[in-house]
Amino acid sequence: MDNWVAQVAALTRPDRIQWCDGSDAESEALNALMQADGTLVKLNDKTHPGCWLHRSDPDDVARVEHLTFVCTSEQDDAGPNNHWMSPADGHAKVDALFEGCMEGRTMYVIPYCMGPIDSPLSRCGVEITDSPYVVANMRIMTRMGAPALARIEREGERAARGERIDTFVKGLHSTGELDPNRRFIMHFPEELTIKSYGSGYGGNALLGKKCHALRIASHQARSEGWLAEHMLILGLENPQGEIHYIAAAFPSACGKTNLAMLIPPQGYLKDGWKITTVGDDICWMRPGADGRLYAINPEAGFFGVAPGTSKQSNPNALASIQSNTIFTNVGVTADNQPWWEGLGEGEPVTDWRGEPYDATKRPAAHPNSRFTVSARQCPSYSHESENPAGVPISAIVFGGRRASLVPLVFEARDWTHGVLVGAAMGSETTAAATGAVGVMRRDPMAMKPFCGYNFADYFSHWLSFDKAGAKLPKIFHVNWFRKGDDGRFLWPGFGDNLRVLEWMIGRVDGKAGAVETPIGNLPTVADLNLEGIELDEEARTKLFGFEKSGWQAEFASIGEYLDEYGPRMPQALKDEQQRIAAMLAG
């Protein structure tokens, strides 16, 4: 590690180097430094103790998928789902930008662990950055500092003794000039290396998050026999005290955090139902000795979308961010409290750019504004988050935003069908990425921006888990966003989504009913507990119905999509698509 740090220092030429230990004293010093230079603004310490506001460059507010590259020796290994560049060209292009970029700046060396420090499922990394804002966020989002460095050193000693072990992921980041024309996020999976230049935004700059925990980790997972997924993990406890753990994949800004922190409806609470939160964004799963999949949340915090977070939509998230939180690109009230659209109280006077708020000019908070907070502050936090063995997964859920066609919930018949359901998943785009909003695109397993290798190989890897002795989770698909003819949402969502989770666990336990259709097993209206909510006839028809002609067109589109990946697409998935298409035609 020392040699690599020295090489980076020689390239970037910082004024000084600081090895981060993750201590409170270090954190306080960095916050004071950023407050002095205006990078962080102290918020109202009476209402929001320990909270800060960061405003990013207006051209640096979301992931930049068109500037994100996977650099593998063979282009086909990156696949059509990734922008590709050869490793030699990738290093040359970005290293030219890193040349001397830290002159006049401090170079921070951040050792971190993704997952519990003592878990065999965890993996470590080191991020080098010139951004104290990145240090502050990585301290919240990962197990960062001295304990992580100690694990990295132990693993380095094991590797030196000849053990086959990945020591750590190398990540190099600089904000550079924050010039959109000089911005690249490069991944070198075969080298376990990340290089990110020109952005300070979370997904581009916090290299432990999407870059390591998904793009690089998905490559590691394939070679080591596990899964690195863009999924929440929640614990669902019934009145008998039995807990089932559910992993669920949704594209960014499609309700992952809300579901992960769900508060049951009042009737369910009285009966003793509980939801606990293991993670809200990323899930690493590995087969256990008993054949089940066991999962950890590699993150230690939440990097959540602020707009829409309220007492009504997600009271647990709102409670989590009342203290010790970094807010990015939100508005501010007259008494210096953070504010965003959908909060439901207060009035903004300053917008996310630091200008007087004018509703005709722009929203007070950027649509992709964020909060960074420790997961331990969440009222529904699960102490199983620190279980080195992980938690056993009973069900895997896929879902996205679909205004039409897709019903509220359906169950895949088997693992192969479930992989197809995930592979074919479509969703309307949101503000979490640059580009047009509301455009339907295929987003397999919610991993389109994050899979570090060819999707065809990724689907094959998923299929490989179905083997003798495996006790795999049941797979489901949900759509909270079905709309009626008048454009309104037909399902109330939020806490009432527990009604759907209850049906899923009933299916896992063999206790809940369903109707077989070509697209999977659907509940009838009678199979869900709908006590306390009103659904009109249109809602019942569309949420629980099956539209044959629409699904015929959908499966024709799915077939064309699978063909885009050429001969590497697993035949088993194409056969499944054709089998269902034939059933729909019958």
210 in a labelled binding site: yes
329 in a labelled binding site: no
Burial of 208 (0-12, 13-18, 19+ CB in 10 A): buried
479 in a labelled binding site: no
The 3 state secondary structure assigned to 120-157 is CCCEEEEEEECCHHHHHHHHHHCEECHHHHHHHHHHHH
255 in a labelled binding site: yes
387 in a labelled binding site: no
497 in a labelled binding site: yes
Q: Tell me the C-alpha distance between 29 and 13, whole Å.
A: 23
201 in a labelled binding site: yes
How crowded is the C-beta side of 139, counted as CA atoms within 13 Å?
Answer: 24
* Nearest by Cα to 138 from 82, 192, 207: 207
565 in a labelled binding site: no
182 in a labelled binding site: no
202 in a labelled binding site: yes
Q: 342 phi and psi, to 5 degrees?
A: 95, -10
* Nearest by Cα to 60 from 436, 437, 434, 448: 434
Torsion-angle region of residue 425: left (phi > 0), alpha (psi -120 to 50) or beta? beta
Other C-beta atoms closer than 10 Å to the C-beta of 536 total 9
Rg (CA), the chain: 23
Q: Which residues contact 542 (CB under 8 A, 6 or more apart)?
A: 407, 482, 484, 490
Report helix angle 455-463 to 415-423, nearest 10. Answer: 160
Q: Which residues contact 544 (CB under 8 A, 6 or more apart)?
A: 407, 408, 522, 523, 524, 525
63 in a labelled binding site: yes
252 in a labelled binding site: yes
Q: How far is CA 536 from CA 484, 490, 492, 540, 543, in A?
A: 10, 9, 12, 6, 11
* Nearest by Cα to 307 from 372, 377, 400, 370: 370
Residue 451 among the catalytic residues = no
494 in a labelled binding site: yes
Annotated active-site residue in 254, 283, 378, 451: 254
Place of tokens 């109707």: 515
257 in a labelled binding site: yes
Helix (H) or strand (E) holding 552: helix 548-563
230 in a labelled binding site: yes
368 in a labelled binding site: yes
Place of tokens 């009342």: 322
Q: Tell me the C-alpha distance between 326 and 369, whole Å.
A: 11
Q: Tell me the C-alpha distance between 125 and 160, whole Å.
A: 18
27 in a labelled binding site: no
- Cα angle 499, 505, 511; round to 5: 100
324 in a labelled binding site: no
Q: Tell me the C-alpha distance between 339 and 464, whole Å.
A: 47
115 in a labelled binding site: no
Residues identified as active-site: 254
Residue stretches of the annotated binding site for Mn(2+): 210, 230, 281
Residue stretches of the annotated binding site: 63, 201-203, 210, 230, 252-258, 281, 368-370, 401, 494-497
Residue stretches of the annotated binding site for substrate: 63, 201-203, 252, 368-370
Residue stretches of the annotated binding site for GTP: 253-258, 370, 401, 494-497
